[in-house]
Structure 1
């Protein structure tokens, strides 16, 4: 074994006095940081004759609870199976888009897609647009709301002879508000399932 040319360094063997010195230094830093705090913030006063404005509170999106959807379900109730919220018309208040169908005991009932809003003067949610009417016999999949656009894939039937169990069309669809109505866009052709 070869001996080191450098003599043993004092800090390679920690002694109790080193630990006491380290603990004292750490305690000093903590004490100093608690004393050296920034001053408290003060609000600037508005100039005389001006009104201070606060930022508007974010409006809550309309709830689907208690809304009567334009859907005839007979003795069963209508249920919301999917929903998404966002500001579709750019007015700063969010809307809710709901996919709704009858709570049928068997089978796949057709979906309806409805836009809900509420006015500034009336907080009760109400249906303002029907994007998909259940009478069209469509089932909604891949439903989303992004960048003020509602997207969905609609499963449907090419003829009235196609059994309800087995939709044979797949139609990617989008809706976007144009200032007066929701404009529907679909791909050039529907795809067979």
Structure 2
């Protein structure tokens, strides 16, 4: 069997010096590509009016002083949700808080928090549900600049505190400088 005639070319016989030159050239290309990489990307969103939104984290519910009279007992944050409720580009935190009780089902209060002037602690700026309303809160969420929750309550003082018999699905939205309860289903038995 005869092979076609192929000229004997110098570059068809790889020598170690050729491999070393190729490796050096590739290392130079990789190093140059690393030096020419763009800076780190940052995600920003625009606040109303086209201005960049602030990137401050949501207030920490554990740092707030709550206007809840617990008779000397500590308060407990049972639930929290965060989001920009007023459209200023900074997230607020909504906290469901109750007195730390040894037993039973203490009533909940719902507060909206923002940062204090120093930015170190959260401060209460609105109360959505007072503990005196004798409600328990489930399903807390912040979506589309609205707070949603399910309020469980009692039809009479005779209903045991363990077993609420009424349910209201509610939401609040920031409008004209205050939180307005925007949706309320009729009270239903549980």
TM-score, normalising length: structure 2? 0.71
Deviation at 1:145, TM superposition (A): 0.8
Q: Does 1:99 align with 2:96?
A: yes
Q: 1:68 aligns with which of 65, 68, 83?
A: 65
Deviation string, structure 1 residues 111-141 (Cα, Å, up to 9, x no partner): 0000111355665432111101111111100
RMSD: 3.3
Structure 1, unpaired ranges of 5+: 1-16, 42-54
SS state of the match for residue 89, structure 2? coil
Q: Distance in 1 between matches of 2:38 and 2:123?
A: 47
Q: Does 1:152 align with 2:155?
A: no
Deviation at 1:84, TM superposition (A): 1.4
Residue number in structure 1 paired with 2:77 = 80
Q: 1:118 aligns with which of 115, 120, 125?
A: 115
Q: Distance in 1 between matches of 2:115 and 2:94?
A: 13
Size of the alignment, in residue pairs? 166
Deviation string, structure 1 residues 134-180 (Cα, Å, up to 9, x no partner): 11111100111112111111110122222212100111110110031
Q: Does 1:192 align with 2:186?
A: no
Q: Distance in 1 between matches of 2:123 and 2:93?
A: 10
Distance 1:174 1:106, change over 3 A: same
TM-score, normalising length: structure 1? 0.70
SS state of the match for residue 61, structure 2? coil
Residue number in structure 1 paired with 2:138 = 141
Cα pair 1:89 1:179 within 8 Å, conserved:
no
Distance 1:32 1:186, change over 3 A: closer
Q: Distance in 1 between matches of 2:36 and 2:109?
A: 58
SS state of the match for residue 126, structure 2? strand
Distance 1:85 1:27, change over 3 A: same
Cα pair 1:171 1:186 within 8 Å, conserved:
no
Structure 2, unpaired ranges of 5+: 1-12, 40-51
